[in-house]
Amino acid sequence: MVQMTMGKALNAGLRQAMRDDDKVVLMGEDIGTLGGVFRITDGLLDEFGKQRVIDTPLAESGIVGTAVGLAFRGYRPVVEIQFDGFIYPAFDQIVSQVAKLHYRTQGRVKMPITIRVPWAGGIGAAEHHSESNEAYFVHTAGLRVIAVSDPQDAYRCLQQAIASDDPVIFFEPKRLYHHKGEVDLDASLADAPPMGLARIVRPGTDATVITYGAMVRTALDAAEAAQDEGISLEVIDLRSLSPIDYDTVAAAVRRTGRVVVAHEASREAGVAAEVIASITERCFEYLEAAPLRVTGHDIPYPPAKLEKFHLPDLDRILDAVDRVMDRPNSLSEATDAKGTER
């Protein structure tokens, strides 16, 4: 076990994947000499050469589209999209080509492409640098969508994504790039949990908070605070957004009966909506209260000075917990005054 940041863990994961399989090639803007704007590919050009660490022209559709051609030829391209908001020019190649070619060809053509996306907000970045756009990709059949939340998981999941014969959208929370944790670089990948499984990062008995990405840290902080008030919160890190591990989710809901789903992305038709709909389909009779969402607002991502008002924080999660537990909360006074039912 070694202490390292998520950024270093991702770097180590890429290095290991490239050593394991010489068909793995990296592509993206500035990933070579510079080592990527977040230095996730630092040092890989020196070790593997420019045939395998490919600095590309500044053209996102071009990067993903040429990765498709490389996959046709048996390569396993790992593409870096420099920032979440820059993925849209590549959207057609991702959803119309990468996602569909295996299906269109009845499995004859595989698209083992990993699309790494430095993702989501909380770092005070410029416009188009903080977006949580995972729902677009979760909605697209043929893609797998992964969002990691700690260095150990980042190290393993990235290698699993690269080894997968399916295309994977791999979201890396920028806010956690410098977050440190224990990483076991020597453990066999075969023993690691598959990337499609959710994990309970904190057990609890009163309510379940379901989240992913950087919000896992926020949810853990909320659980710590709730503990002080005598509330036992369970926190589930979904890890995989496509597929979502509903076996783990439903088992948790059956234990606690109360659910809050939290994410940074906007609310309308987001991942939380899907999770809650699926929970009500599967275990409605176990629910003690209507499941709630704590999400970003349905607004364009706001300027940096305002993002703290957009991103769910510890208090908003605790307020939702209070609501599902029927404790005094932000709606109590208003609704009571009107005498209306919550």
Q: Does 193 bind other proteins (CB under 8 A)?
A: no
Q: Is 87 in the site for other proteins (CB under 8 A)?
A: no
DSSP-derived secondary structure for 269-293: T-HHHHHHHHHHHHHGGG-SS--EE
Running DSSP on this structure, what letter comes out for residue 301? P
Contact 281, 255 (CB under 8 A): no
Contact 13, 158 (CB under 8 A): yes
Q: Which two tokens stand for residue 225?
A: 């605070």
Question: Distance between CA 91 and CA 179 in Å, rounded?
Answer: 30
Least distance CB 131 / other proteins (angstroms): 21
Of 41 and 93, which has the nearer Cβ to other proteins? 93
Among 196, 200, 250, 288, binds other proteins (CB under 8 A): 196
Work out whether 264 is an interface residue with other proteins (CB under 8 A). no
Least gap, CB of 27 to other proteins (angstroms):
9
- Which listed residue (11, 41, 66, 208) binds other proteins by CB under 8 A? 66
Q: How far is the CB of 261 from other proteins (least distance, A)?
A: 17
Identify whether 310 is a catalytic site residue.
Answer: no
> Does 57 contact other proteins by CB under 8 A?
yes
Which is nearer to other proteins, 14 or 99 (by Cβ)?
Answer: 99
Q: How far apart, in Å, do the first and last CA atoms of the chain sit?
A: 49
Q: Which residues contact 140 (CB under 8 A, 6 or more apart)?
A: 94, 95, 99
Instruction: Tell me the per-residue interface mask from 133 to 152 with other proteins, x by CB under 8 A, - otherwise.
Output: --------xx-x--------
Q: Looking only at residues 25 through 44 of this chain, which bind other proteins when binding is defined by CB under 8 A? A: 25
Instruction: Tell me how far the alpha carbon of residue 115 is from its chain's centroid.
Output: 12
Give the count of residues interacting with other proteins (CB under 8 A): 51
Q: Please tell me whether residue 51 binds other proteins under the rule CB under 8 A.
A: yes
Helix (H, G, I), strand (E, B), or coil: what is residue 54? strand
92 near other proteins (CB under 8 A): yes
Report yes or no: 121 and 301 within 8 Å, Cβ to Cβ: yes
User: Which residues within the stretch 281-340 sit at the binding site for other proteins (CB under 8 A)?
Assistant: none
Tell me how far, at minimum, the Cβ of 136 lies from other proteins, in Å.
16
Residue whose C-alpha is closest to residue 114's, from 169, 59, 56: 169
Strand partners, 207: 233
Closer residue to other proteins, CB minimum distance, 77 or 118 = 77
Secondary structure of residue 103 in the 3-state scheme: helix
| Strand duo 76-80 + 114-119: pairing | parallel
Of the pair 75, 137, the CB lying nearest other proteins is at 75
- Which sign does the torsion angle of CA 183, 181, 252, 282 carry? negative
Q: Exactly one of 129, 139, 297, 310 is catalytic; which is it?
A: 129
Nearest-5° angle of CA 57, CA 16, CA 100?
A: 55
Nearest approach, Cβ of 334 to other proteins (angstroms)? 39
219 backbone dihedrals φ, ψ, rounded to 5°: -65, -35
Residues 95-124 that bind other proteins (CB under 8 A): 96-97, 100-110, 112
Q: Give the residue, chosen from 1, 59, 187, 331, that forms a contact with other proteins under the rule CB under 8 A.
A: 59
Q: Find the part of the chain contacting other proteins (CB under 8 A) among 38-46, 74-82, 252-260, 291-299.
A: 74-82
| Residue 271 amino acid letter | V
Is residue 126 within 8 Å of residue 90, measured between CB atoms?
Answer: no
Q: Which stretch binds other proteins (CB under 8 A): 4-12, 72-80, 291-299, 307-315?
A: 72-80
Token pair of 323, please? 């609501």
Q: Which residues participate in catalysis according to the annotation?
A: 129
Using CB under 8 A as the criterion, which residues of the chain lie in contact with other proteins when the complex forms? 25, 51, 54, 56-57, 59, 61-62, 64-75, 77, 89, 92-93, 96-97, 100-110, 112, 141-142, 144, 164-166, 196, 242-247
